[in-house]
Chain A
Amino acid sequence: MKRLLVIKIFFPITTFLVFFFISGCKNDSSDKGKKKVAVIVSTLNNPWFVVLAQTAAAQAQSLGYETKIFDSQNNTSLEADNFENAIASGYNAILFNPTDADGSVVNVLKANAASVPVFCMDREVNSTTAATSQILSDNYSGCVAVGKYFVEQMNKQGNYVEILGLVGDNNTWNRSKGFHSVVDFYPGLKMVAQQSADFDRNKAMEVIESLLQAHPDINAVFCGNDAMASGAYQALVAAGKANGVKVFGFDGAEDVINSIKQKKIAATGMQFPKVMAQTAANYADEYFKGKRDFPKKMPVAVELVTQENVDDYMGYGKKDNTQK
């Protein structure tokens, strides 16, 4: 009787548990195949961000997720639409490159409300709680290194122009502040103009063309990114001043690395967009697998690339296999 009772009670329970365990495992693996990762990027009008977005998408795909890239075209309203679309379309995580440190917080909070984790890449949002993690270039320190090299190259004296990126972006100010934290110690170095060109090559070209009218005697241009450095160099070539004016950039874009090799541009700060994008995708994967204790901010070191060490580098990374 007892034996029968044991069989009657324990057999169904054991069978149920085994079935539950097996079906649970099965669901897990099939769910992974269905999970979708959205890559929302500030702009695809700049090759640097194309590399960032494509690498993030490729890494997420290689981890088994469906991906789609959304272009915010440097417009916070369009970015809000992208977030709404991604959430409505059932994306399970967002790898995010914001347009505005303050303006983008609300979009990240929207994703939070929908229980969608957001991993920021390269640019930060001004909130330590909104994003699950923010993987950021150490822009300030990178520009400290550029600033020190700038002072050395200029022999501590000369007139220069600074071209800023988007004024709403923290990276713009972290770079500018890092640069000035060095250069402002030297009274012989005089900033004759500081103007924004929104990280855009064509705008930088226009800004330099116009600034050269008012300040024909500049000795250097410091640009907040490489696209603007290329535009600035192009404007200097057009004005016949390319040989007398040193141009400094920031990013590590392929054309600027080539320009440094050709001694057209003096130096740049090498960021590692591929490292940031891959880390963000890996974090999303770990999140899906249950991890929750991510560092709120993960800085990625920026390295100074000059005409002396340019052979160690290639566009968007190092030549070796550690950081591509």
Chain B
Amino acid sequence: MKIAKYIISIVVMIVVAYNAVFFKKLDEVKASRTTTAFNAAQYAQTFWNTKLAANLDKATDITKLLTMLSKDPAKTFETYSHALGIGNLRCFLVKGKGVIASINEDDISVLPDSSKQAVTLATEYIFGNAVRDATGLININEFTNTMDFNNVSAELNKIIRQNVLPSFKQQAKKGSVIEFIGAVELNKEHLDFSHVEIVPMKIEIDE
């Protein structure tokens, strides 16, 4: 009788111990965290086609913006920039027209009309939230998980990489006159005019 009790106790202990510890592969945990019902690609495409397209005309001229920033940065940031939360990094929707001064490995340098200060259009590093945030039209509270919100940025950048840049990079030549609309992120506290890099959203080469 005692032996039976011991055996039952040992079996119970083994079952409890076996079920108490389990191992999962890191890849599985990672996969489960990236699986989400939210379709970021679809959201980004709809945003790009509707809200963004309808608001591109609200872009501020880059030369005027840089002049305003040098004169009254606080007011210019308050009036023209957008950011989702607290912090120094804020985004602007900008436009410009100018001559391609140089074509580099990772970007294109453009000299806007009526300005001696060249601006940079990114052609390699299309990353970050500038495009998502520049219009101020997306609200973070729409999303259950910040990962979904981040994916929207990645998908918007993908649209630019796939639909905006290839034909432009093919046709762009030094001396070409171009018109562009894009997004730029600037640091409110440490404004550095030597690193103004615009993520292009629309580029047209004037014939």
Residues of A within 8 A of B (CB): 124, 126-128, 135-136, 138-141, 144-145, 147-148, 151, 164, 167, 170, 173-174, 177-178, 181-182, 194-196, 272, 275, 279, 295-303, 309, 312, 318, 320, 322-323
Nearest-neighbour CB distance to chain A for B78, whole angstroms, equals 14
Please determine whether B147 and A272 come into contact, CB atoms closer than 8 angstroms: no
**Other CB < 8 Å A-B pairs besides A173-B33, A303-B187, 9 of them?**
A126-B144, A128-B143, A141-B128, A182-B127, A296-B141, A302-B87, A309-B190, A312-B190, A318-B88
Chain A residues lying within 8 Å of B140, measured Cβ to Cβ, are: 295-297, 299
Chain B residues lying within 8 Å of A296, measured Cβ to Cβ, are: 140-141
Chain A residues lying within 8 Å of B33, measured Cβ to Cβ, are: 170, 173
Cα A164 to Cα B33 with chains together (Å) = 14
Chain B residues lying within 8 Å of A196, measured Cβ to Cβ, are: 26
- The 10 sampled A-B contact pairs (Cβ below 8 Å) are A136-B146, A140-B153, A148-B127, A173-B34, A174-B147, A177-B147, A297-B140, A298-B85, A303-B87, A318-B88
B131 contacts chain A at the CB level, 8 A cutoff: no
Chain A residues lying within 8 Å of B145, measured Cβ to Cβ, are: 126, 170
Nearest-neighbour CB distance to chain A for B177, whole angstroms, equals 29
Nearest-neighbour CB distance to chain B for A177, whole angstroms, equals 7
Chain A residues lying within 8 Å of B129, measured Cβ to Cβ, are: 138, 141, 144
Cα A318 to Cα B128 with chains together (Å) = 22
Q: How many A-B residue pairs have CB under 8 A?
A: 103
Please determine whether B127 and A318 come into contact, CB atoms closer than 8 angstroms: no
Please determine whether A147 and B127 come into contact, CB atoms closer than 8 angstroms: yes
Cα A128 to Cα B147 with chains together (Å) = 13
Cα A170 to Cα B147 with chains together (Å) = 8
Of A170, A181, A182, A300, the contact of B87 (CB 8 Å cutoff): A300
Nearest-neighbour CB distance to chain A for B157, whole angstroms, equals 8
Nearest-neighbour CB distance to chain B for A127, whole angstroms, equals 8
- Using A141-B129, A148-B127, A173-B30 as known contacts, say yes or no to A128 and B88 having CB atoms under 8 A apart: no
Nearest-neighbour CB distance to chain B for A161, whole angstroms, equals 14
Name the residue on B nearest A312 (C-beta): B190
Please determine whether A144 and B127 come into contact, CB atoms closer than 8 angstroms: yes
Name the residue on A nearest B192 (C-beta): A309
* Chain A to chain B: the 7 pairs with minimum beta-carbon distance, closest first: A301-B87, A299-B85, A140-B150, A301-B89, A296-B141, A300-B86, A298-B85
Nearest-neighbour CB distance to chain A for B55, whole angstroms, equals 22
Cα A126 to Cα B36 with chains together (Å) = 12
- Using A174-B146, A177-B147 as known contacts, say yes or no to A138 and B141 having CB atoms under 8 A apart: no
Name the residue on B nearest A147 (C-beta): B127
B83 contacts chain A at the CB level, 8 A cutoff: yes
Name the residue on B nearest A275 (C-beta): B86
Of A136, A178, A297, A322, the contact of B189 (CB 8 Å cutoff): A322
Name the residue on A nearest B33 (C-beta): A173
B125 contacts chain A at the CB level, 8 A cutoff: yes
- From 139 to 169 in chain B, residues with beta carbon under 8 angstroms from any chain A beta carbon are 140-141, 143-147, 150, 153-154
Nearest-neighbour CB distance to chain B for A211, whole angstroms, equals 14
B29 contacts chain A at the CB level, 8 A cutoff: yes
Nearest-neighbour CB distance to chain B for A149, whole angstroms, equals 10
Of A195, A298, A320, the contact of B86 (CB 8 Å cutoff): A298
Chain B residues lying within 8 Å of A167, measured Cβ to Cβ, are: 26, 29-30
